[in-house]
Amino acid sequence: MRKSLKKILQYAFLIAAFVVAVFPFYWMVVGATNSAVEIVKGKITFGNQLGKNFKTLFAEYDVARIFFNSCKVAILTVIGQLIISSMGGYGFELFASKARDKIYGIVMMTMMVPFAALMIPLFRLIVRFNLLDSHLGLILTSLTSVFLIFFFRQSFKSFPKEIIQAARVDGAGEFRIFYSIVVPSMKATYAAAAIYSFMTSWNAYMWPLIVLQSNQKKTMQLLISTMSSAYFPEYGVIMAAILISTLPMIIIFFGLQSYFVQGITGSLKQ
């Protein structure tokens, strides 16, 4: 009897957490099917404005191009971050030495510095390299993620060293060992890192706001923030834009979800 009461409480708590977490997503989908007036009124059932909202969105803004911009920046950033950060994590873990551990310490400490502090020197740097208002300026500055270096190093800790030793005895070069033995067997780690990396790049707001200036260069986040600061925000249309910008994240997350948990679990083992 007491046991079943406990179970009920357990489910009640989880269901409550689930509803709170998911409701805004439901509302976002519903919102895209309603008009601005209906949204403000608090309507939470499906309407029939979906087609109209999307038509207005695509007529008023160059959404296809902006969506492509976001994809381009995010994909190139993910590729760069995965290659460079995983090499870093691998180097720091498997070739640990006193000097390199000191460098690792310094690298980790940079995590404590707020981005607001880097903004001005970084902006000047971008101007000097002539990268203002370019996607390259965004990609280049985020080619390496300190968090991912840490994450990869933690994950490589559990990689069996005997395999690497055996490959060395067989005469394989260090770089070959890395890309043909280590990388393919750490799929879950790379998938988890890819989700993290895509998420931060796709959702970035502050830095793109500073670097990108012309309308054709904008990303989805900048579009949404422009739309919402309009004098008369068209909420239905905004909800449609939000839907488009959130969908890729949800698809990627669902696609790689099982890897994601596995990857994080792997990095926590010691």
Partner 1 sequence: MENTTRLPSQDREKRHISAKNKYGWFFISFPVIILAVFMLYPIISSLFLSTMSSRGMIQKFVGLRNYVKLLKDTVFLQALKNTFIFFIIQVPIMLFLALIIASLLNDKSIKFRGLFRTGIFLPAVTSLVTYALLFKMMFSLDGLINKFLLAIHLISEPIPWLMDPFWAKITVMIAMTWRWTGYNMIFYLSGLQNIPDELYEAAEIDGANKLRQFRFITVPMLKPIILFTAITSTIGTLQLFDEPMSFSSGGVTAATIGPGNSLLTMSVYIYNLCFKYMPNFGYAATVAYVIVILVAILAIIQFKLAGDKR
84 is an interface residue for partner 1 by CB under 8 A:
yes
User: Least separation, in Å, of the C-beta of 120 and partner 1?
Assistant: 5
171 is an interface residue for partner 1 by CB under 8 A:
no
166 is an interface residue for partner 1 by CB under 8 A:
no
Give the one residue of 115, 160, 162, 232 binding partner 1; rule: CB under 8 A: 115
User: Least separation, in Å, of the C-beta of 113 and partner 1?
Assistant: 5
* Number of CB atoms found within 10 A of residue 16's CB: 10
Buried b (16+ CB within 10 A) or exposed e, 70-102: beebbebbbebbbeebbbbbbbbbbeeeeeeee
Q: Which two tokens stand for residue 237?
A: 């249309």
261 is an interface residue for partner 1 by CB under 8 A:
yes
User: Least separation, in Å, of the C-beta of 243 and partner 1?
Assistant: 10
Distance, CA of 220 to CA of 247 (rounded, Å): 12
Q: Which is nearer to partner 1, 50 or 85 (CB)?
A: 85
127 is an interface residue for partner 1 by CB under 8 A:
no
Stretch 194-213 residues interacting with partner 1 (CB under 8 A): 199, 202-203, 205-206
190 is an interface residue for partner 1 by CB under 8 A:
no
254 is an interface residue for partner 1 by CB under 8 A:
yes
Q: Which is nearer to partner 1, 39 or 194 (CB)?
A: 39
Stretch 16-55 residues interacting with partner 1 (CB under 8 A): 17-18, 20-22, 24-25, 27-28, 39-40, 42, 44
Give the Å distances, CA to CA, from 185 to 54, 86, 118, 160: 43, 13, 36, 11
Give the one residue of 95, 128, 169, 171 binding partner 1; rule: CB under 8 A: 95
Q: Which two tokens stand for residue 51?
A: 């087609």
Distance, CA of 201 to CA of 208 (rounded, Å): 10
Stretch 133-162 residues interacting with partner 1 (CB under 8 A): 140-141, 143-144, 146, 149
Size of the site for partner 1 (CB under 8 A): 85
Give the one residue of 32, 35, 49, 91 binding partner 1; rule: CB under 8 A: 91
Q: Which two tokens stand for residue 101?
A: 């551990």
> Which range, of 49-57, 59-67, 159-167, 249-257, touches partner 1 by CB under 8 A?
249-257
Which DSSP string corresponds to 23-42?
Answer: HHHHHHHHHTTS-HHHHHHT
Q: Which two tokens stand for residue 58?
A: 């695509």
Give the one residue of 55, 65, 100, 161 binding partner 1; rule: CB under 8 A: 100
259 is an interface residue for partner 1 by CB under 8 A:
no
131 is an interface residue for partner 1 by CB under 8 A:
no
Alpha helices in the chain (DSSP H): 2-31, 36-41, 50-60, 63-94, 98-109, 115-128, 135-141, 146-156, 161-169, 174-177, 187-203, 206-211, 220-228, 235-268
Contacts of 63 (CB under 8 A, 6+ apart): 57, 223, 241, 244
